[in-house]
Amino acid sequence: MTDRRTAFLSVTGAIAGLAALPTASDAADLPDLSKPEENLSNLIRTSASLKEEDCPWYYNGTIYGIVGEDSPRPLYRFEGMEMYFMRHLSPGLYEMIGNTVTFMRDVDTGAFLREWKNPYTDAVNKVEDAIQGGKAGRGFEYSVNGVRPTPFKDQFPDQPLKLWWTSTGDYVWLHNSTVYPPGMKPPRMQRQTNFIRRDEFVNPKIDSLATTFTSTVFMPWPKWMEMGEHPGHVVWHASGAKLKSIDQLPKEYRTRAEKDYPDRMSARPT
C-alpha cells in the first residue's frame, strides 16, 4: 500500500510466542501444536497454501478516526484483495510474497471514493487507492524460527514458532499479529483471528484451508488525508475470507481492480 503494509490475514506474518493449546480432552484429533514444524505448516495452510500457487483473499470493513478521548468516528469504508504466493526456498524455509489492492468507499452510500471531504480539516482530499506489490526478496520469511520481513530478517532473533490456536466444537481459530519492519511510524499494530473448520484442519491432505478472518489495525493517518500534525490515528476493522480464485471476487470490485491494476491480480514471481 502507499503508506502501510496491511496483512489483514495473516496472514502476512506472525509474532512467535507461547502457544495456548487446546485442552487434551478437546484436542485428541488435532496435530501436536506444541511443535514449531506443526505451527509452520498449519500457518501456511491457513494463510496461503503448501503448494506454490496464488491464494487470493477478499475483505471489507470500516476505517475509524481516533482523536484523544472522543468517540471513534467512522470515516470511510474499504474493500480489497490480498493475493499471496508461498515460495519454497528450501526444506522448511519459505517466503510469502503478495499484492494488495484496496479501494475506499463512502461510509453511507458505499460508492467508490475519488474525493473525500475531510471532517477534521474541511479540505477535499484526493483519495488514493491502497496498493502494494510484493516482490521476491521483499516478502516475509517463514520457518520454524519465526516469521520475519525478508529484508530485515537478520534484525529478528530466532525463536521457535509457537502460535495461539484454539479449538472448540466444529472450529479451530488462530489469534495472530503482523510483524512490521523496524522503523515504521507509530502507532502500528495489527491483530487478526483466522477461523477454520475443524474437519478440514485435521485433514493433512488439504494444502490450502478454507479460512475466514476478522482483524483490527492501528495506523497513523493515511498520507492522502493531509493531516499534518493533527493529533490522532486511524483504526481499520476488517473481515473477509480466502477465495478459491479471483473468479469469486465481487463483480464490481474485480472489474475495477482488473482495469486499474491488472499486474496485481497474481503474486506469482516472474
Give the pLDDT confidence of 142-183 residue by residue, as tens digits. 999 999 998 888 898 999 999 999 999 999 999 999 888 888
CA atoms in the 13 A half-sphere facing the CB of 219: 24
Residue 223 is given by DSSP the state G
Closest by CA position to 225, among listed 59, 58, 63: 63
Residues in CB range of 175: below 8 A, 6 or more apart: 20, 163, 164, 166, 191, 192, 193
Dist. CA 236–CA 37, nearest whole Å: 32
Dist. CA 80–CA 255, nearest whole Å: 12
Report residue 270's pLDDT band, with 50, 70 and 90 as the boundaries. Answer: confident
**Dihedral angle at the C-alpha atoms of 23, 24, 29, 32, nearest 10 degrees?**
90
Report residue 7's pLDDT band, with 50, 70 and 90 as the boundaries. Answer: very low
pLDDT, tens digit (0-9, with 9 covering 90-100), for 240-260: 999 999 999 999 999 999 999
- Say if residues 99 and 133 touch (Cβ distance below 8 Å): yes
- Say if residues 180 and 188 touch (Cβ distance below 8 Å): yes
- pLDDT reading at 10 higher than 70: no
pLDDT, tens digit (0-9, with 9 covering 90-100), for 58-82: 999 999 999 999 999 999 999 999 9
Dist. CA 64–CA 215, nearest whole Å: 14
- Say if residues 146 and 123 touch (Cβ distance below 8 Å): no
Residues linked to residue 96 through DSSP beta bridges, in sequence order: 86, 140
The whole-angstrom distance between residue 227's C-alpha and the CA centroid of its chain comes to 25
- Altogether, the residues listed in the chain come to a count of 270
Mean pLDDT of 80-100: 96
The pTM assigned to this predicted structure is 0.90
- Say if residues 231 and 66 touch (Cβ distance below 8 Å): no
